[in-house]
Chains A and B, each alone.
Chain A
Amino acid sequence: MATQVDDARIIEFDVRTDEMLVNMGPQHPSTHGVLRLVLRTDGEIVSEVEPHLGYLHRCAEKIGENLTPRQWIPYTDRMDYLAGMNMNLGWSLCVEKLIDHQLSEKAKHLRVIIAEMGRIASHLVGMGAYGLDLGTFSPFLYAFREREKILDLFEEACGARLTYSYLTPGGATADLPNGWLQKCEAFLDQFEPIIPEYHALLTTNAIFVKRTAGIGVMSGEMAVDFGCTGPVLRGSGVDYDLRRDGEERYTEMYDGYAFEVISQKDGHYPKDHDYPAVPAEAVLGDCWHRFYVRMLEVVQAIDLVRQAIDRYSTASGDWGVPIKLAHKLPKGEVYLETESPRGQMGFYLVSDGNAIPWRVRARSSCFCNLSVTSDLCRGCLIADVPAIVGSLDVVMGEIDR
């Protein structure tokens, strides 16, 4: 599927002009932070794209080797700063796996509520920012309006709006406040009818479909080859979600929940709801499908939060008391992956028996997702580059760490 540099289509396209090397980024409105793409262009046609990374490198992993696991929690917030809760969760599970800490039922349901709310918040940014990439401003604000309400809820739970440090090894820093669940349910009730608005503004908008359908098509095999995960992988029709297919320690959180992996199977997405039909121009694995998968995951996350709220209010046990700040870690190494909104977020921890880990590494989902950029963008137009990069929904904080 990937086009070659000597692809006849590129040459036949138009009158050849001088090649130009253009720096898209690191200061550019649509490179999602400080991504730098070096484009080799022939007129409007991009013949080569080379991503350059590292502008947001903050030595997060090395710092993790000088702090106790609980002290490092705030640093995970700052990796994927749009889904801090999910990053907290990944690291907490990893540490719990090392110390073999078992959570109560209630703590698990709390984590589901928080993680799925975080997923909604993150996908809302992804959706709004994708609108910006395609040149429409309003969906961004519509998305942020709702995201702010989620952040209000998070603020009530943990006191922070962006870098939460809420879920920690052992559980969470505090229980959910009184009345929080009702507010959360009220938000979901209010939020769910709004989703068709987003579909009207973006998903089914004729110009949006024209800009995304058939653009940046990635086959399932290619996605797997490049190690793409999350909505990027599922947008190519691969039926893989760590919440179902992951490690026991992670999937047990979702035990008994009714949910299906969002990916196209036999030409259909799961759940026969009244969401817009796939337009005829869309090809499986294109930007439109990646976007649509995110939109459906939002709906699914709403459903999961509702289920989790029901269970949480009747579950036994406590909300999960954090481990000690300087909890002595057993000797050994662990690796655990969770399904963050952007894909497979893995944490690797080696302990030599101290309270401070000997090695900390993170497997970034966006890093792998971004690696397809140069293949997807070859032969596209300049305007497609933001469309493709935006559909991968990368967060540079997580890539550069």
Chain B
Amino acid sequence: MMLLAAFDFDWHAFFFMFFALLTCGFALAVLFTSNIVRMAFYLILSLGASAGLFFLAGAEFVGAMQLMIYVGGTLVLLIFGVMLTAQSRFVTMKTSSGEWVMALVLGGALLFLLLTAAFRVGDWRTGHPNPANVGLAESKTTTQIGMGFTGVRVDKLDAPEGSTLVSGMSGYLLPFVIVSVHLLVVLVGAAYMARTKRRASSAGVGA
């Protein structure tokens, strides 16, 4: 029975600590590395571990989203950009002490903001009643997010009529689409600006 008790620890908490340590550890590694590709590599691991946290919390959609957008998308582009402009002055970065101070102030301010905001939400101060039972198969976060986009607050279904849903004001689908189209425009614009301009003298040669 001693054996049983020794092993029957809270695996959920264990993995939470594990992923949290990984996230923070690799985030620190990003800070203290000067090689930009290694930074990106540590960032992959850090973001991947935070995706692990999401999975652990039963938010598998957000976790997969994290992997797909930040790890699989943004970081690939980052490394791609580094490789395209692979010059030594970009590959290794030296940080001056002034930048350190600036970064600490900014980072500290952001952390403070985040923590105060997080602790204001009442629901977040209490733990999940039974964290071990957060099942990925039964979780319906996808639907909640999707419905939220279209304006249905599934967490407030029992709220009195009219209190959560205002016609024309609820739902994030339109803003979301506007933002994504905006991002696309920005990308196209960036690609356009990065292109070398055609030389005036040789216009018409490239046919």
Direct contact between the two chains A and B in their complex (CB within 8 A): yes
* B198 and A11 contact, CB distance less than 8 A: yes
| A12 and B196 in contact, given A7-B205, A7-B206 (Cβ under 8 angstroms) | yes
Decide if B86 is an interface residue (CB 8 Å cutoff). Answer: yes
Decide if A186 is an interface residue (CB 8 Å cutoff). Answer: no
Decide if B169 is an interface residue (CB 8 Å cutoff). Answer: no
* A15 and B199 contact, CB distance less than 8 A: no
Task: Give the interface size bracket for A toward B.
Answer: 10 to 19
B residues contacting the other copy or chain, number (CB 8 A):
15
Which A residues form the contact surface with B (CB < 8 A)? 6-9, 11-12, 14-18, 43
* B202 and A8 contact, CB distance less than 8 A: yes
Q: CB-CB < 8 A to A12: which residues of B? A: 195-196, 198, 206
* A8 and B191 contact, CB distance less than 8 A: no
- Which residue of A11, A14, A16, A17 is within 8 Å of B199 (Cβ)? A11
| A15 and B191 in contact, given A6-B202, A8-B198, A9-B206 (Cβ under 8 angstroms) | yes
Q: CB-CB < 8 A to B198: which residues of A? A: 8, 11-12
Which B residues form the contact surface with A (CB < 8 A)? 84-87, 191, 194-196, 198-199, 202-206
Q: What is the CA–CA distance of A318 and B196 in the complex, to the nearest angstrom?
A: 72
Separation in Å of the A286 CB from the closest CB of chain B?
A: 18
- Which residue of A7, A8, A14, A18 is within 8 Å of B85 (Cβ)? A18
List 13 contacting pairs A-B, 8 Å CB cutoff, sorted by A: A6-B202, A7-B205, A8-B206, A9-B205, A9-B206, A11-B202, A12-B195, A12-B206, A15-B191, A15-B194, A15-B196, A17-B85, A18-B86
A20 nearest in chain B by CB position: B86
Q: What is the CA–CA distance of A16 and B204 in the complex, to the nearest angstrom?
A: 20
* B84 and A17 contact, CB distance less than 8 A: yes
| A7 and B202 in contact, given A15-B191, A18-B86, A43-B84 (Cβ under 8 angstroms) | yes
| A8 and B199 in contact, given A17-B84, A18-B87 (Cβ under 8 angstroms) | yes
* A15 and B206 contact, CB distance less than 8 A: no
| A15 and B205 in contact, given A8-B198, A8-B199 (Cβ under 8 angstroms) | no
Separation in Å of the A282 CB from the closest CB of chain B?
A: 19
B204 nearest in chain A by CB position: A8
Q: What is the CA–CA distance of A15 and B84 in the complex, to the nearest angstrom?
A: 10
